[in-house]
Chains A and B, each alone.
Chain A
Amino acid sequence: MGIKILTEHINVPGIETLEVYRKHGGYRSVEKALKTMTPDEVVEEVKTSGLRGRGGAGFPAGMKWSFLAKPEGIPRYLVCNADESEPGTFKDRVFMEKNPHALIEGMITSSYALGANTSYIYIRGELLFILRILEKAIAEAYAAGLLGKNILGSGYDLDLHVAPGGGAYICGEETALLESLEGKRGNPRNKPPFPAVKGLFQSPTVVNNVETIASVPWIVNNTGAEYAKIGVGRSTGTKLISASGNINRPGVYEIELGVPVEEFIYSDEYCGGIWKGKQLKAVVPGGSSVPILPADLIMKTAAGEQRLMTYESLSDGGFVSGSMLGSGAFIVFDEDQCIVRNTWNYARFYHHESCGQCSPCREGTGWMERVLHRIEHGHGHQQDIDLLVSVAKQIEGNTICPLGDAAAWPVASAIRHFREEFEWHIKHPQEAIAPGAVYRGQLAAATV
């Protein structure tokens, strides 16, 4: 068992109450930071820790914090992105539901580091029951003097609000989230200006994922240098992985970055192997928007090295033979899963969730979905495969926000690695539309 930073006390009965949480060392970081450290020292610790954004992009959190503009007389904001809606990701939800105070503690410490006096937790609309849990915990924190005016007698004020979204995937994009938080239509903004300069209410803002913020208290308590010792290379610390799909033990696991992928799938400590002892077909290692990888490429990189659960190792080989750690949604497919159907499912999701602001994404996501629908339902043509590749390329990189890329990558990668399966669907429509029909040719070839 590796070190547990986020989930150590998650199953303690009553941890959602302030009393139990404090008994287990809760809010120590608030006391330490507010009483003995300057805000810049906290930022420095986070920088030293090498903590990277856990929302998907993996941008160093300390660096993001140091970019925050600090003009005189203008408020600054910290916004916690709890709009977790990437298909396959459910780590933040479990974390907030079980241990709301851990997030609040992180919010206080981080807000102090950034000099924010008002902070927001933007929570996904479907998670209203967690909103209630958080609000209850926030009320407890206010009553204990951990929020509000003059926190713990340090002279630092902080108001923390929880705001629910309407359940749109696009509002997880940081600028769309800010628009939505301001009460507007959740359209991503054009960048520049970046939120660090003009964010919420045109003021400098930092937007961080739940898990990123929740990692800060440990860093403050145990120093950034200790945090940097965990993990491999530039992937420091621990990461919550939402494991789902055809595995024996789906769920949220906290891993030290650097666990081999093979161990993660087959070890009884984690996923516990493929369900019913079937053969592994493919893995989406970081949430629906990252490229899918076939079994051989997820275990070993193209260069033959063992693939590890780190930002660098998973993206080794670029998009030709690699993928991304993303938000840590580890989706496993066994031999009975149809890649075409799955790709269509993803495309349908992005088609539904595109905000419709910029043309390549608005039109392209729908186009890809319709073509994939056609292939899956036995009406595909041979040229459709190249059409999909071309449309994906037309979207990728040309949109305002990363949703366009997120829609294009799964389609492009599925075709890159499972082209034969698409071709089989088109050549044998009658067989392909039969319930439960799956192309096994490629799989057999890989085993031999």
Chain B
Amino acid sequence: MAKITFDGIEVEVEDGTTILQAARKIGGDVVPPAMCFYTPLKGSGGKCRVCLVKVTQGSARDPRPMPKLVASCITPVQDGMVVENTTNEDVLNARKGIVEMLLINHPLDCPICDQAGECDLQNLSYEHGVSATRYEEPRRTFNKIDLGPYIQLHMTRCILCYRCVYTADQITEKRVHGVLGRGDAAEIGTYIENVIDNDFSGNVIDVCPVGALTDKTWRFKNRVWFTKPLNAHRDCPTCSGKVTLWSRGDAVLRVTARKDEYAEVEEFICNTCRFDKKEVSDWTIEGPRNIDRGSVISANHYELPVINVPIVPNLPKSTVKKMPTE
């Protein structure tokens, strides 16, 4: 076991745990954001750099601070480590800088993006972004790639987190897409036009932190915040069959895996459950799903009504929860 101090809060975790996981054990506002790290996917993390933290004391044995900011999602804890996240100005400035980098080429087409309302980048930019851009040049564009009847790729929105690549590598039998090109011309693609076609291909939609990969069967049907999430299950021969249904009235508009507060799926689901079972009669409804995740747009919906919502920059995740409800 290793004892670390994170933003002044002491927490004891297993050896080999990463700083990010230790922070998640504390929970709340101190948890660094993560855009590319995804617990169920081996090898993910370290790419987006928004989870950078300052290690002011390496360990009890070697108390020297680490010279650079480190990515908390891939750095293992040491006993006696002291980490600063929200209490360190350098970290907050660096994060602000990185969010700006992530946004300079992002189309900011949230009003027409299906991910809006549950988008990690949207939340991140509300919390750490700036209100104006300093980028004057044209934003980059890509040629359209068709990934088949179920998955819609919007490459302009992609932040190259590599999650979908790891997903295809680790939970499907054959990966047909990957990262092509280099630098800011790097893109997700299949090289030779190819359909992502296997029983679990739909999971790339769930792991995508932005609206780059969206569900074609749900495309433009509704906004996330108008739909009601319900836990449901069915007897599925391929997967666990435990899903979240997103419904409006009697219609099931979308089926996704169940995600925790860090948008990580509990169990990956198969394409039959995700794309083909869109009738209430297909499912055994367990009850409403409580969405723990704070998101800017969903704040009014998933939580009880909040009156006098403070102006946007002061709206970190958990303050909404703590506010008086009536």
Chain A residues with CB below 8 A from B184, complex form: 351, 354, 356, 362-363, 365-366
Chain A residues with CB below 8 A from B49, complex form: 358-360, 398-400
Q: Is residue B47 contacting chain A, with contact meaning CB distance below 8 A?
A: yes
Cross-chain contact A190 with B45 (CB below 8 angstroms): yes
In the bound complex, what is the Cα–Cα distance between A300 and B74 (angstroms)?
Answer: 43
Most chain A CB atoms below 10 A, which of B76, B178, B182: B182
Chain B residues with CB below 8 A from A367, complex form: 101, 104, 135, 137
Cross-chain contact B101 with A359 (CB below 8 angstroms): yes
B186's partner among A351, A352, A356, A387 (CB-CB below 8 A) is: A356
Chain B residues with CB below 8 A from A168, complex form: 182
Q: Is residue A17 contacting chain B, with contact meaning CB distance below 8 A?
A: no
Cross-chain contact A356 with B160 (CB below 8 angstroms): yes
In the bound complex, what is the Cα–Cα distance between A352 and B160 (angstroms)?
Answer: 17
Chain-A contact segment, one of B92-100, B198-206, B267-275, B316-324: B92-100
If A356-B181, A397-B68 touch, whether A362 touches B186 (CB-CB below 8 Å) is yes
Q: Is residue A221 contacting chain B, with contact meaning CB distance below 8 A?
A: no
Name the interface residues of B118-162: CB closer than 8 Å to any CB of A.
134-135, 137, 159-160, 162
Q: Interface on chain A toward B: helix, strand, loop, or mixed SS? A: helix
CB-nearest residue of chain A to B178: A185
In the bound complex, what is the Cα–Cα distance between A274 and B46 (angstroms)?
Answer: 46
Q: Would you give the 0/1 interface string for B63-84, flagging 1 where the beta carbon is closer than 8 Å to chain A? A: 0000011010011100000000
Chain A residues with CB below 8 A from B74, complex form: 190
Cross-chain contact A359 with B98 (CB below 8 angstroms): yes
CB-nearest residue of chain A to B97: A394
Chain B residues with CB below 8 A from A357, complex form: 47, 160, 162
If A398-B69, A398-B94 touch, whether A353 touches B183 (CB-CB below 8 Å) is yes
Cross-chain contact A394 with B100 (CB below 8 angstroms): yes
CB-nearest residue of chain B to A366: B184
CB-nearest residue of chain A to B160: A356
B46's partner among A363, A365, A400 (CB-CB below 8 A) is: A400
Chain A residues with CB below 8 A from B52, complex form: 398
In the bound complex, what is the Cα–Cα distance between A398 and B69 (angstroms)?
Answer: 7
In the bound complex, what is the Cα–Cα distance between A21 and B190 (angstroms)?
Answer: 50
In the bound complex, what is the Cα–Cα distance between A360 and B182 (angstroms)?
Answer: 14
B183's partner among A192, A356, A387, A394 (CB-CB below 8 A) is: A356
Chain B residues with CB below 8 A from A358, complex form: 46-49
Cross-chain contact A190 with B94 (CB below 8 angstroms): no
Most chain A CB atoms below 10 A, which of B49, B52, B74, B135: B49
Name the interface residues of B183-200: CB closer than 8 Å to any CB of A.
183-186
In the assembled complex, the CB of A92 is this many whole angstroms from the nearest CB of chain B, namely: 23
- In the complex, 22 of the A-B residue pairs with CB atoms within 8 angstroms, ordered by the A residue number, are A351-B184, A354-B182, A354-B183, A355-B182, A356-B183, A356-B185, A358-B47, A359-B47, A359-B48, A359-B49, A359-B50, A359-B102, A359-B159, A362-B101, A363-B101, A363-B102, A367-B101, A367-B137, A394-B97, A394-B100, A398-B52, A399-B49
Q: Give the 6 A-B CB pairs with smallest separation, nearest first.
A: A394-B97, A356-B186, A190-B46, A354-B183, A363-B101, A366-B184
Chain B interface residues toward A at CB < 8 A: 45-50, 52, 68-69, 71, 74-76, 94, 97-98, 100-102, 104-105, 134-135, 137, 159-160, 162, 178-179, 181-186
